Amino acid sequence: MERIVEIEGVTRQFRRRIALDDVTVGVPRGGVFGLVGENGAGKTTLIRHILGLLSAQSGTVRVFGLDPVRHPAEVLGRIGVLSEDRDLPPWMRIDELMRYTRAFYPKWEPAYAEQLREMFELDPRAIVSSLSQGQLAKAGLLVALAHRPEFLVLDEPSSGLDPIVRRDILEAIILTVAEEGRTVLFSSHLLDEVERVADRVAMMHHGKIVLDDTVEDIKTSHHRIVVRAARGQEEAPEIPGALSCRGIAPEWTMLCRAPLDEIKASVLRNGGQVVDVATPSLEEIFVGRAKTKGLETAGV
Amino acid sequence: MNRAELASTSHLTFGRKCINLVNTVYNEGLLVEIHLDARDSAPVYVQIVRQVKRLLASGRLAAGDEMPSVRVLARQLLVNPNTVARAYRELEVLGVLESRQGSGTYVSGEGGRPGRRRKVMCLAAPADALLREARGLGVPLEEVREFLIERDAVLDADDERSA
């Protein structure tokens, strides 16, 4: 399977702060790739490397097989970008913004751009600085989509937006990926959205990739179990792959990443009982993992 | 506005009311009443499979009906098209749906009402949940059986009262 983005062993340090710590991750062509992590985890820094705005201090970054720092025009011409701060000239009108952006993208389709503008209900004469948060996001999305890029990169597209605008943005993502061969990468901390729309998710924590898998595999490999400990046991039982634990004796709720039969066997061996099993949401998994200490070793 | 005009403007107007109207009058297939429950921990494709089966069992979907295309349903539900594709594949394997080359996905012809067995099988999920809960509590199957009959009588009484 072809990969649009190949990042290998990239480390990025800003003075004393390590923003990216030996990051290796790939984005396959086609489908939606979600990048999640708390603020400061390194998502935007990673995206900036993909866009060639930052040069890797170690390791390699390849987009469409090219180094985005050495081939900026070639790479960026095939990418539609919506950055977190939207980055639109505040004094421009919407129609001026469209004309301005068109100049950078030979593949810009004026008719399609017009359709998008109408779809997003943006007044061509409105000035960017007068737009609401939602309208700003839509304007940014318009110029990202209008040249029908192979690769759409969205940094926190939904942050600070009301649910209605968020739906419109999700819809635009789905429409994009429904067209053959197009790829979307979006970073978000709205995990319920990521869960319904992403095919793969990479989770970052303190500059490291702590999870990189399909949404399906993540959901099927994590379990939320309720364990009734053996009589007299004051502490929570030790379960393979346990990521978090809460409760008081004798009942504990634990989040585990391990095969279910192994978990059950382990609980039984300790004289306990598995009382309930459920599939945790991506948000629960995220919170559970972020709070787990000792995440340094990969593979958990 | 006649149907052709409505159809040609559908991709330009995005006002929510207009889209719903357009979906009912002109679309790539039946407007299907499928809703996702964010609190349901079952994977999205499982929810879709379950709801299609339910629509079929209740007669709201009939043999020969055309299903919305993967893109249209993905857009309606705001989920990844792969997820819808997966649900459709699953339903095809189960014999509930069939895809016709170049034409779309249709509800499998069965002639007449959905089989009784199929209706009963729609109860598999809640039945399994009940059985697992009973096991967890240590309630034997015989008691569960008697309890179900009890509850059924309560429902009858409720229905009578609200009638």
Count CB-CB contacts under 10 A for residue B36: 16
Architecture of domain A220-291: 2-Layer Sandwich (3.30)
Q: Is B79 on the interface with A (CB under 8 A)?
A: yes
Q: Is B137 on the interface with A (CB under 8 A)?
A: no
Q: Is A170 on the interface with B (CB under 8 A)?
A: yes
Q: Is A298 on the interface with B (CB under 8 A)?
A: no
pLDDT of residue A289: 79
Of A121, A174, A219, the CB nearest to B78: A174
Q: What is the pTM of this model?
A: 0.78
Minimal C-alpha gap between A31 and chain B (Å): 8
Complex-level ipTM? 0.74
Q: Do A279 and B36 touch (CB under 8 A)?
A: no
- Please state which CATH number belongs to domain A3-206: 3.40.50.300
Q: Is B14 on the interface with A (CB under 8 A)?
A: yes
pLDDT tens, residue by residue, B52-85 = 988 888 888 888 888 999 988 998 899 999 899 9
Q: Is B130 on the interface with A (CB under 8 A)?
A: no
Query: What residues in A contact B70, CB-CB < 8 Å?
Result: 178
Chain B residue at shortest CA distance from A218: B43
Chain B residue at shortest CA distance from A111: B12
pLDDT tens, residue by residue, A136-191 = 999 999 999 999 999 999 999 988 899 988 988 888 888 888 877 789 999 998 88
Residue B7 has pLDDT above 90, yes or no: no
Percent of chain A with pLDDT over 90: 59
- Please state which CATH number belongs to domain B32-114: 1.10.10.10
- The Cα A185–Cα A261 span in angstroms is 35
Q: Do B75 and A171 touch (CB under 8 A)?
A: yes
Per-domain residue ranges for chain A? Answer: 3-206, 220-291
